[in-house]
Amino acid sequence: MSGITSYFRNIYEGVTTVLYGMRVTMKYLKSPAITLQYPMEKMVMFERFRGLLHNRAEDCIGCGQCVRACPVDCFTMVIQKAGKDEDLGLTRDGTAKKLHLYQFDIDTLKCMWCNLCTEVCPTECLLMTGEYEVSSYQRDGWHLRFAIEEPPPGFDMEEARLKQNRITNPVTYAGAADPKSLVIPEGSARPLSGAAEFDWMASRQAQVAAKGAKAHEAKPAPEPKPVSESKPAPPESKPAPPEAEPAGE
Amino acid sequence: MDPAHIAERLKTKFGDAVTEVRLDVPDPHAMIAPAHVAEIGLYLRDDPDLDFKSLMCLSGVDYGDRLGVAYHLHSLTHRHRFCYKADLSREPGAARLPSVVGVWPAADWHEREAYDLVGIVFEGHPDLRRILLPDDWEGHPLRKDYQFPREWHGIPI
Amino acid sequence: MSELHTEEMVLNMGPQHPSTHGVLRLQLVTDGEVVREAEPHIGYLHRCAEKIGENVNYVQFVPYTDRMDYLAGMNCNYAFAHAVEQLTDLKVPERAEYIRILVLELNRLASHLVAFGTYGLDIGAFTPFFYAFRERERILDLFEELCGARLTYNYVRIGGVMADLTPGWLGKTKNFIDYFEPKIREYDELLSYNKIFIKRTAQVGVLPADLAIAYGVTGPNLRGSGVKWDLRKEEPYSIYDRFDFDVPVGKGEMGILGDCWDRYMVRIREMRESVKIIRQAMDGIPAEGPVVAEEIGKSVKTKAGELYTRVENPRGEMGFWVVSSGKDTPIRCKVRAPSFCNMSVFKEISRGAMIADLIAIVGSLDIVLGEIDR
Amino acid sequence: MQTWIDNLTGGPPTSPLVYLTFMLGACVSTLGFIAVLALFLIWLERKVAGHMQSRLGPMQVGGWHGWAQSIADGFKLFLKEDITPASADRLLFKLAPYIVFAGSFTAFVVIPWSQRMVIADMNIGIFYVLAITSLVVVGILMAGWASNNKWSLFGAMRGVAQIVSYELPAALSLVAVVMWVGSLKLTDIVGSQAGWFWNWHVFRGFPFFTIGALIYYISALAETNRVPFDIPEAESELVAGYHTEYTGIRFAMFFLAEYANMFLVSAIAAVAYFGGWYTGIPYLDFIPGPIVLVVKALALVFVMMWLRWTLPRLRVDQLMALCWKYMIPIAFFNLIGIGILMLITGRA
């Protein structure tokens, strides 16, 4: 007898549980979708978002802490001590610069976006931008150059580069013992928008202001967030020019 | 039971096979002569007061001057932990010790990994092959004197 | 019939296959639809994490732990941070402990959601996957607000966390939890108690408790076999002893104790427990305070010594065996990955299963290849 | 065919040429109808799936809700390279998709769109449908075998076992209708359901025809390899089953055939159980028959999609158990029940 009851119970359970499931899917068929139509609508990145690295070279004192903090050695940095009577000026926060910065390159292909370098930066000149559209068809061009000073004639860049850049991690940097691999082919560097002043906070606010920007949790738009402790103070409520979109250059 | 008592029992049971007991370190453990790891493991597993049915971790290590294998055990019934280790010579071909797969099947993949990465040979392992690296890989990468290959099958790294 | 000759067929499942949850290769010997032997081959995702661990310092190794169990980066961060803290006797500030609990349990939710969704996908139901990811996206949004990344967080650091909570984060988390809790019931209706799903998973891939213990299986897979073992309860680390939660175990409701359905259901029930912990942690979190231990500078130096520590990750016991000589770089950093041990039992429980069952078993073990291969 | 042409020309055809022209016209129009229908169904499937999963589905191509998505996809498939695996059985490999497509295409000729609009109103209509759709099995087996791929072979074997088994409950439940109506002719079957909707077979002879309709529908799901019976292509197990190795236009043929088949079995269900071209409300009978039938069939197709995006997949032995232990016995008892009912009501 139990065989027959379980036979019909199987049928009953089969039919009812299918109907339960169909009720759930029907419920969502009627409720609105959560899709963000990506290229047309863009998410507003959070203030702490870890996007493409950017260095404001004029504020960089060349201390090299970022280079030491990087687990994957994606920085290439060449510095030279300034002469006694040379005045290199001040950074934005008033620190006197004492080193010439001839090269400050970030190999984005190696970057693991861990944020360790920006946390140690004393002048907050190295920061992670809100730029996240970093896919491209070729590997070239992702070797970002930030230095604005030219080395004086007679300065051996090649030698300084090899001397000053410690190879800490042979696994991730196995091929780097070959000095040629540090030479960047001419024209491959991908400069960021007007490298000197890249105000990502403003561009982010422009995204907020732009129509169709869909915020997280289906809110219309997030209120400008208070300043975080690890990032420089953004210029609050700066009128965002419409052309401040960072994407696509 | 705390590690001191367990080590004491091991000493009375196996005598000289327990070469040293270190209790004032972060991870109290007993040092075992390599030849005895399997029989001590069997005792630890089957003694009803110890009942170490579970091998948490088996690790091979290269200290630079010697190799080592660490066995971390715990018991689900008595809720205690114990660790015993064996030191091995770095001489070529000398890093051999009995396998504990027969004691804890969990050791199977752990021993293969230790063989693969540190180059310790576990005698009596049913299937001691490389596990993480390709079968034709040369050398054992977690050795301190490991040379990074410049190429693999003609592919520059 | 004796002259009827049939041959067994050797079949490679993977490394590129939709249901091996990554680059796992299963070498199958099949007799028709029945699998005689299934031998897993791993290592396709080996990235020498342990070797890297010997070459970078403790602070720099934390981002690498993200890439082990990439579905539960926070938990892996925490497992390593916990190991180093134990080895250095660091005292983590109270607020940081609470923040850690919040992100750990949220990440456990996210991880179990993926397990639930992909398991549905393995069994053939598409929609649960999208529902699970819809919810997971909101958790990732919360994490992104907190640390700027959605997958590789590097948020739980040695001695604390990367940064304090953002204003309003707790409110958003509460909103999410309130939204999420009723969804679990929907998952049950849609998948867990569906007759076809039960047919496919009950009495399949039975893992008896003694076999599970012998093979070092941990986490929901061990609990699915009816063993009440959760490190959060048994060896309370961090501040887990302050929270009230249950440890769900498999009971063999739909078939045999330790079958795929039990393992699956443990995860669904654990989501409810995680929600409970998150609620309690949100109530108990101190209003303010430091989030990083004071002793932490730019690099961390441990005491010389060796220590094995373990924590309960979404997939089981994540252990770190750190051998330190007192410098800022370890001599050896062995990772005892839960999926690695959970996968080693696969060969035992897959004998005689059908090909479709094999997929159900792999899915129910909930492996992450990043962690198996490291 | 004859009737239709007679209806259109107002008399028997005068010459074979006229007859041939009409035949070609019918072929082309059916083909066109199937193509458009399949493209529409593919688009609908994606939209339904998307919205059930809190997504949107295609939104870009063509503007409004991505209406041209499947056209673009079809175009892409046309332009793709037609790859034949090196070790495949070339002839069978190339032939298989056409046989699968022919199986569903030729069955379309007997669908009674309205009283008069039938390409071929055969007196063995239902029998023809059941016979010709079995042809699909041959194509599937050919595809799986010729691909020389172990996974494809698995898919083909599963597919054949499944389709052959589920023919039985489908046929048994249709036999009940045939018994009731006393004719194999599809127009007769629809004709007996005229008037109010309670005359539809599905509501008659309760509960026998209701159960019969359900059994036919479930078997139809299995015959079209739809979830929860999609084990021949089970993407999480066999990647894509018997059409793993197909690309380009040949893959498109399989795809087209799947959706054409879905519509076909839904149309047959509508004809046999849901009143065919009749609206069910006599006041609404001015609506052209084809529209009514297409709407009914589409509603049934929608339920297929709804099920697909809700349910997991059965295992191959459970699929067989469902067929042999549940569907066939119930269909048999159902048949006997209808026979008794006919005796009681004096229909026999």
pLDDT of D190 higher than 80: yes
**B155 close contact with A: CB closer than 8 A:** no
Average pLDDT over residues B28-33: 86
User: Do D and B have ≥3 inter-chain CB pairs under 8 A?
Assistant: no
Question: Shortest CB distance from C199 goes to which of D227, D309, D314?
Answer: D314
Domain of D272 in residue numbering reads as 80-345
Q: Tell me the average pLDDT of chain A.
A: 67
Residue range C146-174: average pLDDT? 87
Choose the closest CB to D54 out of A21, A26, A34.
A34
CA C259/CA B109 separation, integer angstroms: 23
D7 has a pLDDT exceeding 70: no
For C32-86, strand residue ranges (E) read: 34-41
User: How many C-beta atoms lie closer than 10 Å to residue B96's C-beta?
Assistant: 13
Digit-coded pLDDT (tens) for D21-33: 877 887 888 888 8
Residue D295 lies in a domain: yes
Q: Across chain B, what does the average pLDDT equal?
A: 85
CA–CA distance, D309 with D305 (Å, rounded to integer): 6
Nearest CA in chain D to C355: D237
pLDDT score of D13: 57
- What is the pLDDT averaged over residues B105-133? 88
List, as ranges, residues 41-70 from B with C-beta within 8 Å of C. Answer: 53-57, 59, 61-64, 70
Chain D hits for A29, Cβ within 8 Å: 48, 51-52, 306
Distance CA(A124)–CA(A94), nearest Å, equals 12
pLDDT at D10 over 60: no
Residue B35 token pair: 């030849």
In this complex, the residue of A13, A169, A228 whose CB is nearest that of residue C163 is A228
What is the predicted pLDDT for the residue at C113? Answer: 92
Say what the pLDDT of residue D35 is.
86
Type of residue found at A96: A
CB-nearest partner of A116 from C59, C144, C194: C59
CB neighbourhood size of A239 (10 A):
10
Residue C103: which pLDDT band, with cuts at 50, 70 and 90?
Answer: very high
**Does position A244 have pLDDT exceeding 70, yes or no?**
no
Output the six-digit token pair for C182: 């009723």
- Chain B's closest residue to A169, CA to CA, is B148
pLDDT by residue (tens digit) across A19-35? 888 888 888 888 888 88
Beta bridge partners of A99: A81
Contacts of B117 (CB under 8 A, 6+ apart): B60, B132, B133, B140, B141, B142, C50, C51
| Tokens linked to B2 | 């705390």
C98: Cα separation from own chain's centroid:
20
pLDDT tens, residue by residue, A67-87? 888 888 788 888 887 777 777
Distance between CA D110 and CA A77 in Å, rounded?
A: 78
Handedness of CA D239, C340, C113, C259 (dihedral sign): positive
Residues from chain D contacting residue A17 (CB–CB below 8 Å): none
Q: Which amino acid is at D336?
A: I
In angstroms, the separation between the Cα of residue B59 and the nearest Cα of chain C is 7
In-domain check, residue D70: no
Beta-carbon separation of A35 and D306 below 8 A: no
Q: Are C341 and B109 in contact (CB under 8 A)?
A: yes
Least confident of C91-95, D120-124, D261-265, D299-303: D120-124
DSSP one-letter code for C292: B
Which element (helix H / strand E) includes C13? strand C9-13
Q: Name the β-bridge partners of B98.
A: B123
Angle at C264 (CA atoms; ends C261, C266), nearest 5 degrees: 110
- Would the CB atoms of A35 and D53 count as touching at under 8 Å? no
Q: What is the per-residue pLDDT across C306-320, written as a single tens digit (0 to 9) for each?
A: 889 989 999 989 999
Whether the CB-CB separation of C74 and C102 falls below 8 Å is answered with no
Could you tell me the pLDDT band of residue C108, with boundaries at 50, 70 and 90?
Answer: very high
Domains, chain B, ordered by start:
3-156 (3.30.460.80)
Whether the ω angle into residue D207 lies within 30 degrees of 0, i.e. cis, is yes
Tally of structural domains, chain A: 1
CB atoms within 10 A of CB B4: 12
The mean per-residue pLDDT over the stretch C27-36 comes to: 85
Stretch C258-271: mean pLDDT: 90
Note the Cα B17 to chain centre separation in Å: 15
- What is residue A167's predicted lDDT score, i.e. its pLDDT? 52
Backbone angles phi, psi at C353, to 5 degrees: -80, 165
In terms of residue numbers, what domain contains A156? 53-182
Chain C residues touching chain A at CB-CB below 8 Å = 48, 51-52, 55-56, 59-64, 127, 131, 134, 137-138, 141, 144-149, 152, 154, 162-164, 166-167, 172, 175, 186, 189-191, 193-196, 298
Asked if the Cβ–Cβ distance from A216 to C145 is below 8 Å, we say: yes
pLDDT band at C18 (very low <50, low <70, confident <90, very high): confident
End-to-end Cα, chain C, rounded Å: 50
Listing DSSP states for D9-60 in one string gives HTSS-SSHHHHHHHHHHHHHHHHHHHHHHHHHHHHHHHHHHHHHTTS----S
- Decide if A244 is inside a domain: no
For the domain that residue A90 is a member of, what is the CATH number? 3.30.70.20
Per-residue confidence (pLDDT) for residue C78, from 0 to 100: 92
Tell me whether residue D237 is in a domain: yes
Two tokens at C121? Answer: 């996908």
CA–CA separation, B44 and B36 (whole Å): 12
Beta bridge partners of B71: B58, B84
- Residues in chain D whose beta carbon is closer than 8 A to a beta carbon of chain A? 48, 50-56, 59, 306-307, 309-311, 326
pTM (predicted TM-score): 0.85
List the domain boundaries for chain C. Answer: 48-373
Q: C48-373 falls under which CATH superfamily?
A: Cytochrome-c3 Hydrogenase, chain B (1.10.645.10)
For residue A228, being part of any structural domain is answered with: no
- Based on C-alpha coordinates, what's the Rg of chain B? 17
* Whole-Å CA distances, C241 to A106, C246, C341, D222, D233: 45, 12, 27, 53, 49
Q: Give residue A246's pLDDT band: very low, low, confident or very high (50, 70, 90).
A: very low
More confident call, C246 vs D122: C246
Longest dimension (CA), chain C: 80
- Measured CB to CB, residues of chain A less than 8 Å from chain B are 170-171, 174-175
pLDDT one-digit tens code per residue, A163-206: 777 654 333 333 344 434 444 444 444 444 333 344 555 554 55
DSSP state of A226: P
B 76-135 → C contacts, CB under 8 A: 76, 79, 83, 104-106, 108-110, 113, 117, 130-134
Q: Which residues of A touch D54 (CB under 8 A)?
A: 28, 31, 33-35
Q: What is the mean pLDDT of residues D87-104?
A: 86
ipTM of the complex in this document: 0.80
First to last CA, chain D: 31
Angle between helices D248-273 and D16-52 in degrees, nearest 10: 90
Residues of A in contact with D53 (CB under 8 A): 28
pLDDT at residue C300, rounded to an integer: 75
| Residue B72 to residue C321, Cβ atoms within 8 A | yes
**Mean pLDDT lowest among A100-104, A138-142, C119-123, D254-258:** A138-142
How large is the average pLDDT for residues D314-337? Answer: 88
Residues of chain C with pLDDT > 90: what percent? 18
In Å, how far is C242's CA from the nearest CA of chain B? 20
Question: Which element (helix H / strand E) includes B135?
Answer: none
Q: How many domains does chain D have?
A: 1
Chain C neighbours (≥3 Cβ pairs under 8 A) are A, B, D
Over chain D, what is the mean pLDDT?
A: 84
- If one compares D73 and D11, the residue with the highest pLDDT of the two is D73
| pLDDT in the model for residue A190 | 45
Residue D110 in any domain: the answer is: yes
Identity of the amino acid at B131: I
Average pLDDT of span B84-94: 84
